[in-house]
Every structure is written in C-alpha cells, then in structure tokens.
Amino acid sequence: MQLADTSAIVTGGASGLGAATAAALVAHGARVFAFDLPAAIEKAGQAPDGVTYLPVDVTEATQVGDAVATAAEHGPLRAVVNCAGIGPSARILSRKGVHDLELYATIIKVNLIGSFNVLALAAEKMAETEPLEHGMRGAVVNTASVAAYEGQVGQAAYASSKGGIVGLNLPAARDLAQYGIRVNTIAPGIVETPMLATVSEEFRAALAAGIPFPQRLGRPEEYADLALFLLTHDYLNGEVVRMDGALRMAPR
C-alpha cells in the first residue's frame, strides 16, 4: 500500500512513539493528523511540516469522530497508528490498601477502549475510500507492550490494557477483512520515550543491561520503521510483533 498523497492518523502524535511515527509517515508522502491532548500539543509547540495537531481525547467518541472526518477530508484515509497511552503503576494490594478501581478503569479506558474507539471510527471512514489493488483500503497498527505477556509487579492495570489490545488484534483483522482493512499490533519492550527522560542514566543503563541484544533501549524511530513496514506490507495481517531485543520481563 502506497502512503503518498493519503491521509494518516497517529494518536499520541505530539511526542514519543507517535511523533516519530508521524515524521516517518510524512517522509513517505502522507498528510498526518496527530491526535493528542491539548496539554501535550501545547508542550510540543509548532507542528512539523506535513503534520496537523488535533486536540482529541481518544476515549471520547464525538471528538474522535469529528477528528477522523477532518483527516478524511484531506485525502483518502489509508493509515492509522494508535500510540496514545498511559502507564501508572500500582499493586493490587499494598500497604496503601487495595488498588484504586478508578485508576484501573482509567488505564483500561485510555489504552484499550481509546485504541478501539479510534480503530472503529477510522475503519468506518476507510471503508468509504476507493479500493486499491486486491480491494485494499487501509491499515491500522495498534500498540501493545511486552507487559501484555510478562506484566511486572505493579502492572496489573497496564498489562490488562495491553493484553486486551493483543486479544483485539486478530478479531479486528477478521472483522475488517471484508472492507480491505488490515490490522496489526506492535508490542514494544523498553523504548527511550519521554516517560524515561526523567530517570537517571544509571537506571537506564540497568534497564539496558537486562536486554539480551542489542543491549540498549529501543528508539522511537525503530518503532516508526516497524509501523511503516506493517502499514505498507500488504500480506501482513492479524500479527502481533514484539520489538524488544529478545527481552522477557522479570517479575520486578
């Protein structure tokens, strides 16, 4: 699938994995609409050439629907990459008491329901586009995590949300096959994102030491490269790809 002269949506597109993916899509000729919260957009400043920032809460159907419609007005909507997510940690039972239920629900709502919301509403617009060769209309890439498989202590909510994205992947690909829309998922390991920018070099080095090879943290640009590969490879569908340097997370 060619991305030149098409519209693309990237959630969480103002920073981290999303910003790197937006830049990669622009480099391939797409017009990118980056969905993010107003505070994240304000922090990012002026949007790069080829990127339009849209203030969107991915959990709000009306906001997402309006933003998807805006993206579809500027060319055929062919690509969606869901990067928006949050990752607070809390144990199910600790000295502070039982895991806060509202926190658990919020993480599920943002990471899993938000991804589904964008996937579904974008697929509706994709289904209206003119089909390409073999009926291809578009492709979606969701973001899970290695925590979906090896959630650590304190990651009950986060691992649940990312496990849900892994579980969503194949039925979504099967549901949308009749419309010529592919769905794949990336499960990153430890990637150098803004969430890690506040920790010390020593802590980052300790994280990198646990990765078999290459013994370093992943880079947002590597995620973006993989997302572009999944978007443009027409025979990859219903797959979850780990990007983790063969890391298997320990309990803590």
Residue type, 154: G
Active site residue 158: yes
57 to 12, 93, 113, 172: CA distances (angstroms) = 10, 30, 11, 22
Query: Helix, strand, coil shares of the chain as percentages rounded to 5?
Result: 45, 20, 35
User: Which of 144, 2, 124 is closest to 71 using CA atoms?
Assistant: 124
Retrieve residue 52's tokens.
């339009």
CA distance 77 to 24: 16
Alpha-carbon gap, residue 83 to 86, rounded angstroms: 10
CA distance 137 to 130: 7
* Cβ contact 34:71 at 8 Å: no
Of residues 53, 104, 149, 158, which has the active-site annotation?
A: 158
- Contacts of 164-168 spanning 24+ positions with Cβ under 8 A: 164/108, 164/111, 164/112, 165/111, 165/112, 165/115, 166/240, 168/112, 168/115, 168/116, 168/119, 168/142
Catalytic residues: 158
